[in-house]
Chains A and B, each alone.
Chain A
Amino acid sequence: MAGLSLKGINKLYPNGFHAVKDLDLEIGDKEFIILVGPSGCGKSTSLRMIAGLEEISSGELYIDDTLVNDVAPKDRDIAMVFQNYALYPHMTVYENMAFGLKLQKKSREEIKERIDIAAKILNIAALLNRKPKELSGGQRQRVALGRAIVREPKIFLMDEPLSNLDAKLRLQMRSELNKLHKNLQTTFIYVTHDQTEALTMGTRIVVMNEGVVQQVAEPQTIFEKPANLFVAGFIGSPQMNFINCSIHEEAGSIYADFNNHRLLFPTDKAQLIKAKNYVGKEVIIGIRPNHIHAIAEADFPYESCCLKGTVEVKELLGTETHLHIKADQLEFICVVKPSLEVQVGVNIEIAMNMDKCHVFDKETEMAVF
């Protein structure tokens, strides 16, 4: 069990590629922290620097208050699980789990003891004599985790370990990893590009883009209070809708104007806009698809926040339906109940729940609220 402290960490490759920029992060003991972001954002590089697989160009990395920049990976008391978890094909599950420990010259008794414990945790005790080809995808993934568990590390580092699994198995393994974290009571650092994985698994999420940390917070906070336009767009599925607007004040009320449309801000949000001097300025309004409603379903006063548009695509997902709506030159996605009778090509009136909207500075792309 260990806490980590990353102070001003940079990774600059000799070819000029600056993969990670000034990464400051405190990771508490027993945390399950997720590094999430698009391809090339620096999340895997950060994980590899923690592991010691990549040299740190500048900055300091502490594990349990010990500076480990120059400590070899094998001496950092970590274990890694990668996306590609090939098992040794000619070995049994037991031998696969024992292999790494044999390389470490552990005694036969110690190896057996560790494997028994790990097998019990992962519920694979009955599989120990099987060969990998006799296992299902999920069982193989558990064996791969078992190989990491038997090392008894202070920190587990996982780089997209579920990416090669099919959707159903990924869902199952997500909850298994959560249980595993609770059972092991160890620090987990987990890298993924999948925002759903990030939201469902982590105790905290680190959102990265272009080598820079965008926001560090609990999943709920990341979703409800994104720090900037990038986080707002990256986290949440379907993606948040964005509208370029200008802010105007009229008769004491604050409006967002765009394409000959006008949305009225509720009083509390209007006060924030005034207080932060955004009246007369250009902003970007963000609103999640589940906060745009068909008029027929709206359960809030919608008179001053309506738009007319055409349904371009209808996606039935069982518990909900996604409508892709085109209104003037803008495209919106909104979530409606499956019972709403609406067809592709028809006109529809939608209402924005402005109580739930976000506003971003157009220049800095930082959240106003």
Chain B
Amino acid sequence: MGIQKMKTILHGLKDIIDTEFNLIDDSGYILHSTDFNRIGSYDRHVSALDFSSSFIIEFEGYIYCYSHHQEERCIISIKGIDADNRRLAKIIEVFIGAKDMGFSRNEFLKGILLNTISDPSLETLCLKHDINPKGSVRLLAVEATEELMGNLQEILTALLGDPIVQIKSNTYAVINRNDDKDIAHPAYLSDVLATELLYKVKIGIGASVENVKDWHFSLRTAETLIELGKVFLPEQNTYTFKDLAIPMLTSGLPPQELSYLMKHFNCSIDKIISNNELLVTARGFFKNNLNITDTSRSLYLHRNTLIYRLNKIQEITGFDLRNFNDALLFNIMINGHQSLKLT
């Protein structure tokens, strides 16, 4: 419902009920009023109104009804607090509500996820759309190709039952409540999607957040993880913070500073990157928490072979991966090298 239409309705109401109605914007500016003298002036009460828990507020002799639309937020005020005007305010709320329902749940969710709804009453609006604004939620970004989007949506809906919103032509956002469902586990999702779609669907797992206002942040991190994952861990299909924390840090550094850092250590990291055997060994060693026994078992290397290779890495780079600090720096160097290649 547009502002112009609301003006017409207010004008019509004046002929039925002899009271003052005002149409006011967020700043308190009176856009329209049945009292023509008030049009163009400011209602100073508006800044004091908090609509986060209710859309109808009684204040200083007026009843204020809040109307929300994605890009058009306004307030209708009715002069006089009595039973008739309260009833009238309720009726207006019904009309406004009807208008809001026209703004679909899906569009509303999309607005939240893309952070285009910056509204103080977001939580109340969520309840109107039957969305729980609180509780632990993580956003999954699921990327496929445009032609697979229809099937992808069907599978995600059938599998998870979580709300799904298309945020790009090739990406869905899944609003996933953390309830330890096995099927919501990234590995399950990835395998099921690959089985059904025969396509390497990429999944980014955003940070867990507690309030609807942070959902967009969780989604943004999920999308960033996919972008970084394609470069740093291309052999994987699902990406979490844990996998990509260091690439996130190195990619976030200005190239000049990163380049300076790399030069400072002067550790011939490119020699490791071009040596597949040593690269695989280092990655396996990190994956197994710097544990010699677990790494040699996992890579099926003799313990002495593993130690020989770790010594070789130390010889080339100066970093002894058995030492935590050296392992961390080595990891930063490997990822920094890759980050610099991107710039």
Contacts and interface: CB of A to CB of B under 8 A. Distances in A.
A interacts with B: yes
Interface of A: 13-19, 37-41, 45, 48, 51-54, 72-74, 76, 78-86, 88-91, 99-100, 103, 147-148, 209-211, 230, 233-234
Main secondary structure of the interface of A (DSSP, over half): loop
Given A45-B235, A51-B198, 11 more contacts: A15-B233, A39-B299, A40-B299, A48-B200, A53-B200, A74-B198, A81-B195, A84-B185, A86-B183, A86-B191, A90-B158
Interface in B172-198: 182-183, 185, 187-192, 194-198
B154 A38 contact: no
Contact of B300 (A18, A89, A234): A234
B191 A83 contact: yes
B94 interface: no
A38 B300 contact: yes
A17 B182 contact: no
B299 A53 contact: no
A91 to B, nearest CB: 7
10 contacts: A14-B231, A16-B273, A19-B235, A39-B284, A72-B198, A76-B198, A78-B198, A82-B191, A99-B158, A210-B277
A145 to B, nearest CB: 11
A103 B152 CA distance: 10
B158 A230 contact: no
A230 to B, nearest CB: 7
A54 B200 contact: yes
A218 to B, nearest CB: 22
B198 A103 contact: no
Contact of B198 (A52, A81, A88, A230): A52
Contacts of B276: 16-18, 210-211
B131 interface: no
Contacts of B198: 51-53, 72-74, 76, 78, 80
A84 B279 contact: no
Contacts of A72: 198
A98 to B, nearest CB: 11
A202 to B, nearest CB: 19
Q: Which 7 A-B pairs have the closest CB atoms?
A: A38-B300, A82-B191, A73-B198, A84-B191, A18-B276, A84-B188, A86-B183
B67 to A, nearest CB: 38
A37 B190 CA distance: 23
Interface of B: 151, 154-155, 158-159, 161, 182-183, 185, 187-192, 194-200, 231-235, 273-274, 276-277, 279-280, 283-284, 298-300, 338
Contact of A86 (B188, B200, B234): B188
Contacts of B191: 82-86
A144 B279 CA distance: 36
Nearest to B299: A38
A363 B235 CA distance: 32
A53 B276 CA distance: 22
B158 A80 contact: no
A19 B189 CA distance: 24
Contacts of B235: 13, 17, 19, 45, 54
B338 A82 contact: no
A51 B234 CA distance: 17
Contact of B234 (A13, A74, A234): A13
Nearest to B300: A38
Nearest to B233: A15
Contact of B199 (A14, A40, A53, A88): A53
Contacts of B196: 99-100, 103
Contacts of A148: 195
Contact of A14 (B183, B234, B274): B234
B195 A147 contact: yes
A57 B191 CA distance: 23
Nearest to A82: B191
Contacts of A234: 300
B298 A38 contact: yes
Given A13-B235, A53-B199, A90-B161, A82 B194 contact: yes
Contacts of A15: 231-234, 273, 338
B280 A210 contact: yes
A315 B322 CA distance: 33
